Structure 1
Amino acid sequence: MLQLQLKNNKIRLIVCGGDGAVLLANGGNVLIMDKSTGYRPLKGLDNRQVIQIACGDHHSLALTNDGQVLVWGENSHGQLGLRKDHPGSPSAQHVQSLSGIPLAQISAGGDHSFVLSLSGVVFGWGKNSAGQLGLGDTTDRHVPTAVNSLNRKKTVSISCGAEHTATLSKGGTVFTFGSGGCGQLGHNSFRDEHHPRVVAELWGSEVSQVTCGRHHTLVSIASSKLIYSFGCWIQGKLGNGKMIKKFVPFPYLLHTECNQEYAIEKLVAGENNSFALFFKELGNESAMSKPNLSRGIVTLNERMIDRWVSERDSWVTIKREITKMFSSAACLNGSFLKARELNCIQPEIPLICVSQVVKVVEQMLRSLNPNPVGEESLRLYILLPELIRHLQKQRRTELTEALASKALQLDPDAHKVLEKYWSKLPDDWLKNLVKLFRKASAELIGQISCGKMNQDIQHLEKFLKILQMIYQVCCSANRDIPNRDFIIHEISDLLDTVRTKAIVNSRTIKILFKFPFAADTASKWRMFRYLRDEWIQSIHVIYNDNTNMLRINRESLLTDTLEYLRQNIHSFFHRLEVTFIGENGRDMRGLSAEFFSLLSQSLLKWEKKVLEVHESSLVCLSHISHTSNRDFYYLGVICGMALYNHHYINIGFPLALFKKLLQQSPTLNDLEELSPVEARSLKSLLEEDEDEVVDMLFLDFTVKGQELIPNGNQIPVTRANRQKYVDLYVDFVFNKSVNSQFEHFSEGFFKGCPFDAWSMFHPEELQELLHGSPEYKWKELQQCASYEKCSASDELIKNFWTVFSELSEENKRKFLIFLYGTDRVPVGGFSKRSLKILLSDCPDAEDRLPEAQTCFGKFILPKYSDINTLRDKLIHAISFCEVFGRE
């Protein structure tokens, strides 16, 4: 027996392995003991406070109070968890892949290792020849790997043998896996188990401890003061007095004195021996001296925060604690395992504390592992935004950028986990997350608009990528976070400066284009136009001829248009210009606007019946089979040309059509928009509670004589299959019944609008872009008017607006056609369209009608002597004048 002179080191734990023993002193120092040198400090653990140690055959583990796992020894089977080609190390090495995971326990087997997180997640690595890692195979692992089959088992402790492993779950359930050749798994067999398997003989016993020896296993049940053993019988290590193998748990009869006065505190299983440590029951004097044999990592608590706020401790002590807490991803993670609010880290902490927090969090962010081995470390990406959002603007932006960079470095699987976490956040946390990255984006866009942008513009793209991930989560999880919460209003200011700072802003617009959720409809429309014009300019450099002149008769407008398109001479990349044969006027957008307005009316009256009007007054592609598919193609071409040339088609297409163009699936709500009675019947079917009522409807899987599924006319609709019936019904209406028609329409649409940036719009926005805004705010038209050779206070102008306000809704729309060539309201309202009223002070004013320069939104108003003359002339002009163009 060797007596060690440990001087001032008070040893609180000793563990033994194949290469010697490891000692843990009260101060967290680790000492290595071997036959040749006695004992020595371990290199690599300087200034680290170790709280747990574990030894395998030829390797060891240590857990520090800031959550780091350090390993040393041999790495023949990957038992160090560093990497496949690592040769092993005599000094302590950090297992970086476990960074950020708050650990509760470490354990070492023969040539394998395990750790357990505070929330019960189990990670194993190393030798797996007998399935001792519980991963369903016998392949060694060289990095920590989560044992997914133990998820949700609420594991509270873990122990490793030479080639087997045992875990204990909350509630007392024991799982074992790995080598079973000596019966050490307790499954009534000597077979190996590659997955964790419940020890059935102990089911319902509420086991309190489990520990593994080299080839045997011990468990204790505190309530009954029983110890069970199973496994190898050599040298009587099972404690049952018999030299036989036991492959099921067998109770060990304790001494009578132990049963009456003592409680089982700890089981220890070695290679060829077993020990049980007892303490007197609570209430006895000796129980007061029972040591705390398990210590955990440092976590934030109310007492610690209270000391910081009250500044009861010295700043040196506070700084040390802050550094320890916030520089460790594991400690910070472990502090908020439950969904607690981070109120304890808000501005009531002294400013000097906040400054220190920022400093150490910044360091911690830089050290985050981009490839974490488990889901738990990703909780930091939930916690850190809550911390960062309370900081001052400059530091908040810097840390937000660092956080975004780290989040974007995560692999796809980690992104999926992070998105799952986001989808389950409380609404206020999720809104705060959106607000943090939206605000950071807005600040950078504001700097760009003001010409103060000194940072890399790619920072903006990082923020927007994170926002996009959150936006997609909200959409897929149906979270109640409205689209407007993602909109960055500063984008509109940026677009206002696009001409003065063209180079920088052009780059920014191209970035924003990839994140359409961040802009409102009007801003997206402006971006679309800007990028389209830039694209046309680049095309013009290649093709000098950019003239697309369409000459048509008003009387045969649709026929002439189709004949022109069939000639295949139109360059869809360039702007369209229209000339009405026999009329003067140059198309500066006014004539082409009128052209599409008139063409819309012709399409609705087309004898080919490509369109059909529903009860809701909405217009759909006709399902009539004998209509030529080429007709649907040209309908699509015309609609695409209108969008590309920034004009409107006055046809009330349903939202479902635009969803399909954007490759989204129409729903029952879309059917309700199109056919309210039909949709309400289907909704009533889904809401019916009685089987008999559903059966009495005598429905089968057909729609208008068409089978929804094979033999659908023989399959009745029941409560069990009614959802399938409704889904197939909606699919039939919007897809199957018009599949060929829509394919040709969409082909034509893509042809007519070759610049596919329109895909940035939501279906509702695309509908508005093609059809115009549904809101006619007439007061806004007056507010946005400007005047030439007159003013708003003139009697004539007052009379005009009085007459205009008295017009019927129909006549007001006729005025829009008279003035602009279309009665459609632009996206963003009348404020997005020019209206200039010009006074014509001619001597024969009473004999003249008002005129319009449609291309420029200019209304020429003669100086009428009274309001009645003005009224008569205006109504006559808008009702009977068909020629609007003036150069």
Structure 2
Amino acid sequence: MNFSHLWKGLGENLETINEKPDLLPIATVLLPLIESFMVVSKPYVMVQHKHENASVNLNLNETPSVGQKTVSELLQQQHQRALASSRATSPPLGATTASGSQHPHQPALSLNEELFFVFTEEHRKILNTMVRHNPSLMSGSFSLLILNPKVLEFDCKRTYFTQQLHRRSRMHQPHPTLQVNVRRQYVFEESFHQLHGRRGKDIAFAKLNVRFTDEEGVDAGGVTREWFSVLARQMFNPDYALFKPSAVDKITYQPNRASWVNPDHLSYFKFVGRIIGKAIHDGRLMDCYFTRSFYKQLIDVPVDYKDMEAFDPDLHKSLVWMLNNDITDIIDETFSIETEDFGEKKTIELKPGGAELPVTEENKREYVDLLVKQKLTTAIKQQIDAFMSGFNEVIPKELIRIFNEQELELLISGLPDIDIDDWKNNTEYVNYTSSSTQIQWFWRAIRSFSQEEKAKVIQFATGTSKVPLEGFAQLQGSSGVQKFNIHKDFSSTLRLPSAHTCFNQVDLPEYNSYEQLRSQLLTAISECGTGFGLA
């Protein structure tokens, strides 16, 4: 059976709808045809996926090259092949044998696969819109889009990702609650020792219940969020020697190749991997940011010389110059590098015999590639492997690879900017209204704060300085989605604002002036930003 005319008509209709947004509701009428396209494409695309997955370490973010062909050109090519096939012994494109099984190894396979990638990329906008309106599509035929993840936008990938995680959770028997009792100043070490002997399945599927020693807070969700927040800070403590800050911004981190000075470093890296995986699994955001090269290695994307900038800006400049200029009689290097750790110097060959092999104009690209790989990957391979062994106990490696490195950062740490309008539009009030004088002063104060102060207000109220990836509308509380809310505190105006992090709630006294409200709020977030008390 030849479907070329059907797909051509479908593509023309989708293009018309895309050009006229008011016609978008009509797209639902075409949904059965789109799903049919996915069903027909699946055998061909899956065969190629399995072939690649068996022969190489597949990176889903690297889709096959489809050149500059359009859907129309591919459909014309498909139609011509179908006509030719009707006079040949081999079945036409999209046809089946007498037994009903398809022929994935016929030359038509590559054309079908190419058609899938080109078609989905041409209509990516409307496909993403349909997924947003009906997320359940990603549990059905639309899941094939994961094999062309460049088509899917981040929120749609996350929808699929979350669906798959929840599906895994439902397949396992309920696990007993994981109780964690720690002293605030020793959260990292004590959490490590309490969870070290636990199975990966326990970490992944059990509900956490955290208690800070000598603090009265009952964990309805907010204490666990605070625990993740404290862990995110303490894991970068230089005393553990696990991570070192980027040479560029000092706020992103990468594994420290000299972490071996800590005899437990690999066990700690596995623990950190578990914790970050658990945070992702449970929908918690962590205020931890890593270098781009580290994110890449978590999803098996090769590093390149551009990633060197965050690690060593001067070396990066040298490599760029080397690649862009003729180095004949200028560069006097071999395929080896010198390292020094605590006064001990060592020569490392980038390839066998590298210390005797000079770098030339002809082999400079290979030299750059090997040098970058050595510094950003090989030198910290043990640390990365340990981290990933813990991370993949919670998050399957094939699932995390649907994201690129930028999206992975968003998945772990949330939106980097605070949208005050979104925050305000998703706030509820008790015994106040949006037009109350104190509420007007509150938002005036928020807009006057620095980014750090705004983040501290959110941390004060919710237990974390980050907001969900979907924005404030999806702020989580003890029983699911819980919007930010402000309650009137009827006690003295001499009291500071107070918070209930499990419910994303701020109790705001009825202050007499803007200046007093602003001052009291700043004092509260500065002096009461951590610690829990009973309401």
Structures share fold, TM-score greater than 0.5: yes
Shift of 1:406: 5.6
**Cα deviation per residue 1:121-157 (whole Å; 9 max; x = unaligned)?**
xxxxxxxxxxxxxxxxxxxxxxxxxxxxxxxxxxxxx
Partner of 2:18: none
- TM-score, normalising length from structure 2? 0.74
Shift of 1:795: 0.9
SS at match of 2:207: coil
**Unaligned 5+ runs, structure 1:** 1-363, 367-380, 434-464, 496-504
Partner of 1:639: 276
**CA distance in structure 2 between the aligned counterparts of 1:853 and 1:593, rounded to whole angstroms:** 12
More helix by share: 2
Partner of 2:180: 550
Q: Do residues 856 (structure 1) and 510 (structure 2) align?
A: no
2:315 maps to which of 674, 678, 681: 678
Shift of 1:655: 2.5
**CA distance in structure 2 between the aligned counterparts of 1:815 and 1:430, rounded to whole angstroms:** 56
**CA distance in structure 1 between the aligned counterparts of 2:504 and 2:6, rounded to whole angstroms:** 53
1:594 maps to which of 217, 220, 226: 226
SS at match of 2:434: coil
- TM-score, normalising length from structure 1? 0.46
Shift of 1:430: 8.2
Partner of 1:875: 522
Closer, same or farther in 2 for the Cα pair 1:422/1:724, shift >3 Å?
A: closer
SS at match of 1:549: strand
Partner of 1:768: 410
SS at match of 1:786: strand
Closer, same or farther in 2 for the Cα pair 1:553/1:868, shift >3 Å?
A: same
Partner of 2:333: 699
Partner of 1:730: 372
SS at match of 1:729: helix
Shift of 1:666: 1.8
Contact 2:247 2:310 in 1 (8 A): no
Partner of 1:583: 215
1:521 maps to which of 130, 134, 154: 154
Shift of 1:791: 1.5
SS at match of 1:697: coil
Closer, same or farther in 2 for the Cα pair 1:804/1:775, shift >3 Å?
A: closer
1:782 maps to which of 420, 424, 447: 424
Contact 2:499 2:506 in 1 (8 A): yes
Return the letter of the residue paired with 1:734: L
Q: Which has the larger radius of gyration?
A: 1
1:532 maps to which of 141, 165, 181: 165
**CA distance in structure 1 between the aligned counterparts of 2:393 and 2:355, rounded to whole angstroms:** 40
Shift of 1:398: 7.3
Shift of 1:591: 1.2
**CA distance in structure 1 between the aligned counterparts of 2:123 and 2:333, rounded to whole angstroms:** 39
Q: Do residues 649 (structure 1) and 281 (structure 2) align?
A: no
**Cα deviation per residue 1:408-427 (whole Å; 9 max; x = unaligned)?**
566969x99xxx99823346
**Cα deviation per residue 1:289-312 (whole Å; 9 max; x = unaligned)?**
xxxxxxxxxxxxxxxxxxxxxxxx
SS at match of 1:649: coil
1:491 maps to which of 112, 119, 131: 131
**CA distance in structure 2 between the aligned counterparts of 1:831 and 1:709, rounded to whole angstroms:** 53
2:244 maps to which of 606, 612, 618: 612
Contact 2:35 2:142 in 1 (8 A): no
**CA distance in structure 2 between the aligned counterparts of 1:492 and 1:406, rounded to whole angstroms:** 23
**CA distance in structure 2 between the aligned counterparts of 1:389 and 1:471, rounded to whole angstroms:** 12
Contact 2:41 2:113 in 1 (8 A): no
**Cα deviation per residue 1:554-583 (whole Å; 9 max; x = unaligned)?**
121112111112343782121222111122
More strand by share: 1
Closer, same or farther in 2 for the Cα pair 1:754/1:697, shift >3 Å?
A: closer
Shift of 1:750: 1.6
Partner of 1:371: none
Shift of 1:390: 3.6
**CA distance in structure 1 between the aligned counterparts of 2:286 and 2:188, rounded to whole angstroms:** 14
Q: Do residues 720 (structure 1) and 366 (structure 2) align?
A: no
Contact 1:636 1:747 in 2 (8 A): yes
**Unaligned 5+ runs, structure 2:** 15-25, 52-62, 77-108, 339-346, 476-481
Contact 1:365 1:403 in 2 (8 A): no
Partner of 2:344: none
Shift of 1:386: 4.2
Return the letter of the residue paired with 1:522: D
Return the letter of the residue paired with 2:441: N
Task: Give aligned-pair identity as a percent.
Answer: 22
2:485 maps to which of 824, 837, 841: 837
1:270-419 alignment runs, 5 A limit: 365=2, 385-386=7-8, 389-390=11-12
Shift of 1:493: 2.1
Partner of 1:818: 460
Partner of 1:746: 388
Closer, same or farther in 2 for the Cα pair 1:885/1:365, shift >3 Å?
A: farther
Shift of 1:622: 1.0
Partner of 2:139: 509
Shift of 1:742: 1.0
